[in-house]
Amino acid sequence: MNLQQLRYAVALAEELNFGRAALREGVRQPPFSQQIGKLEEELGVRLFERTTRQVRLTPAGQAFVTEARSSLAHADQAAESARRAGRGEAGRLVIGFVGSATNLTLPKVLRRFRTRYPGVQVELRELPTAQQAEELRQGLLDVGLLHAPLAGPAAEVLTTQTVARELLLAALPTGHRHSAYTSLPPAALAEEPFVLFPRRYGPGLHDQITAVARAAGFEPRIVQEAVQMQTIVGLVAAGIGVSIVPESVARLRRGDVAFRPLTPPTRVVTLDLTWRTSDANPVLRNFRSLFRTPPTATP
């Protein structure tokens, strides 16, 4: 028994005429009749009563055609589901992101993606760069928004695409003696206590921030560590220390933190879209297509 035989049986049940049913299915009548006969032989029952004047469904035929219609509908649904999955219009996408990504491209891209592909289930996980890289390598994430460059075994199996570039800013508690300036040199922070994330969570960005300090002749005196940028800014607001953060963090628009450009403009940091190089998932391909590589920015 095959789908073609099911379609032939349904067509004959609706037309009750071998010639019209065969024409509807686009075949000649003899092979059409042969398939109906083979189907009845396989089932061991008569589905149709034939006379020289008419064709009628038997009780067995009525029962069979009812189920055949359902089977054909399920087959059509399965085929369409496969086509939708093949086009990346259905499935699941697990996205990792660093906190600053929510101040840049992620919200806009997510809105566009959910509008275009409502059949895709999206799971979002806020994770530090290093953890994203490892979970991408293990297949626990499908795509990540993080700060390159990456290191270690994960870097060998991942591809990155820069999707945003931004400068680094000083973050100061409101009322800090340097907050009155519209900009300040990194050396002005030399004697300040720092709030910063542990290097193991984001080696690339951590090294860029500490390189700013070292270029100005000092090593940051870190008095408090925190993983998320929002937490770091909250601790700066509490007067625990100062920090250097990507400029997107300033979009938090807190009244208790002053964000000031560094002079000269210091270090362009990147936000990078990252995925397993070997991953051919069409859902991932569609998500990636919504990002564009920004023009190169220079301090």
What pLDDT score was predicted for residue 299? 47
- Three-state DSSP class for 138? helix
Q: Which fold has domain 91-159+272-289?
A: D-Maltodextrin-Binding Protein; domain 2 (3.40.190)
What token pair was written down for 1?
Answer: 């028994």
The answer to whether the predicted template modeling score (pTM) of the entire model surpasses 0.85 is no
In the 8-state DSSP scheme, what is residue 262? B
Pair 292, 104: CB distance under 8 Å? no
User: Would you write out the chain's pLDDT as a tens digit for each of its 299 residues?
Assistant: 999 999 999 999 999 999 999 999 999 999 999 999 999 999 999 999 998 889 999 999 999 999 999 999 999 999 988 998 899 999 999 999 998 898 888 999 999 999 999 999 999 999 999 999 999 999 999 999 999 988 888 889 999 999 999 999 999 999 999 999 999 999 999 999 999 999 999 999 999 999 999 999 999 999 999 999 999 999 999 999 999 999 989 987 788 999 999 998 876 889 999 999 999 999 999 999 999 766 554 44
What pLDDT score was predicted for residue 265? 82
Query: Left (φ > 0), alpha (ψ -120 to 50) or beta: where does 14 sit?
Result: alpha
What pLDDT score was predicted for residue 253? 79
Chain region(s) in the chain for CATH 3.40.190.10: 91-159+272-289, 168-267
What token pair was written down for 241?
Answer: 């220390």
Q: Which fold has domain 3-86?
A: Arc Repressor Mutant, subunit A (1.10.10)
Pairing of strands 221-225, 193-196: parallel
Domain 168-267 has CATH 3.30.870.10: no
What pLDDT score was predicted for residue 283? 97
Pair 268, 208: CB distance under 8 Å? no
Angle between helices 203-215 and 129-138 (to 10 degrees): 150
Q: How far apart are CA 145 and CA 268, in angstroms?
A: 17
Instruction: Find tokens 């993606």 and name the residue.
Output: 113
Chain region(s) in the chain for CATH 1.10.10.10: 3-86
